[in-house]
Amino acid sequence: MEGRGGREAYLDAAKGMGILGVVASHCLAQTNLGAISDWYVFFMLAVFYVYTGWRYQLKYEGKPTGISAKEMCRRRLASLGVPYVCYSILLILCRTILVWPEKYTALVLLSDIYYTGTLVGLETLWFLPSIFITELLLNQVYGRRKAMLAGAGAAGIISVLLILYINARRENTTLWRVVHLPVMVYIKAMAGFLLAAGGVAACRGWKRFVNYSGQRVSFGVALALTAAGILAAWIVPGCDFNYLTMANPVQWILTALFIASSILAFWERAYAFQGSWKDVLLLKGVLIPALTYCGRHSLTIMCTHLVPVIALLKFLAGKAGYPGLLLKAPWDMGLFVVVMVIEAGMVWLIEKHLPWMNGVTLKSARRDER
């Protein structure tokens, strides 16, 4: 593990697994991979929150960040706020043309504007305000142990109580959604902060264990933890984190924290381990580069895979006389593969030619390429 500075490639690999899970969840309507599917339900979003805390621990090593709340807001408004606005506009335009070509009334447009303005977000964009608030909270207490423990405890209690309240009174009505969905943005952020705080502790504990046990033992333990995570996901009921449908929020958050942390620990060891098995399993030449690529471009993939990519493919299938075909097995597996291929083009288009959509200036994007 590195200390301050330096980009850790294994973090990108872990995020890559997460974003692949997100895309798969929107493509594989009928195909079920059994325990692997259950595992991804816990891991695919939780890893981004846990990654935030893990990254803080690597970078700041338990010391306060020295970044004020105002400065953090300024930075994240550029890196998360600008993409939120740009992709919201893109999604509204695409929904007008593709999703509801004949039903996109003024009322539907107003509801999209309302949900965008209240940070509920359209499609997958809800994640950006959630991670924004999570990191803002983490930055305020990081490096102060008592404050962090108090913050995590308060966030845990409040988020659990609110999740139980939401689920006890859940209704499938427009009025319920209009009132409660904006509140759920902050509940997800508090649960995310709890996961991020757990990521700080997990990174600290794993670093100490690796230094104490050595390379081979720690790699074996990382594999065992990953297997235990798959087993835990098979035992503990999953949920839709976006709508906070977990029946037992404490159990779900702890399980998600454990699984996400085990994945980060595994990839930390996979990158550090020096062995020929990497080549045998195609990890070094195929899997690792692919996951790292997806992780580094996770923002673009997160914001574009559902709309416009999947929406466009479904629209074209309908026009060809095969409505609903892409939602049936095994065609949904093909949909997943095609979406990931198209996403490579979306990454090239946006990050090279339209980097401002991700809050990056064209000058900065060119400098990063060099």
Q: Consecutive 10-residue runs of the chain (370 residues): their mean pLDDT?
A: 53 94 90 86 92 95 92 93 94 80 77 93 94 95 92 92 91 90 94 95 94 87 94 89 89 94 92 61 70 94 92 86 82 92 95 91 51
pLDDT computed for residue 297 by the predictor: 95
pLDDT computed for residue 240 by the predictor: 85
pTM of the complete model beyond 0.85: yes
pLDDT computed for residue 370 by the predictor: 44
Give the Cα separation of 61 and 142 in Å (integer): 10
The phi and psi torsions of 344 (rounded to 5 degrees) equal -60, -40
Hey, where are the domains in the chain?
A: 9-343
Q: Encode burial over 77-110: b for 16+ CB neighbours within 10 A, e otherwise.
A: eeebbbbbebbbebbbebbeebbeeeebeeeeee
CB proximity list for 351: less than 8 A, separation 6 or greater: 297, 300, 358, 360, 365
Contact call for residues 56 and 142 (beta carbons, < 8 A): yes
Contact call for residues 200 and 144 (beta carbons, < 8 A): no
Give the Cα separation of 74 and 82 in Å (integer): 11
Task: List C-alpha distances in Å: 94 to 104, 185, 231.
Answer: 11, 24, 40
Contact call for residues 225 and 266 (beta carbons, < 8 A): yes
Contact call for residues 340 and 310 (beta carbons, < 8 A): no
Contact call for residues 162 and 183 (beta carbons, < 8 A): yes
Give the Cα separation of 62 and 106 in Å (integer): 51
Give the Cα separation of 88 and 153 in Å (integer): 34
- What DSSP string runs through 141-206? HTT-HHHHHHHHHHHHHHHHHHHHHHHHT---SHHHHHHHHHHHHHHHHHHHHHHHHHHHHHHHHH
The phi and psi torsions of 2 (rounded to 5 degrees) equal -90, 165
pLDDT computed for residue 6 by the predictor: 39
pLDDT computed for residue 227 by the predictor: 95
Contact call for residues 51 and 264 (beta carbons, < 8 A): yes
Contact call for residues 126 and 191 (beta carbons, < 8 A): no
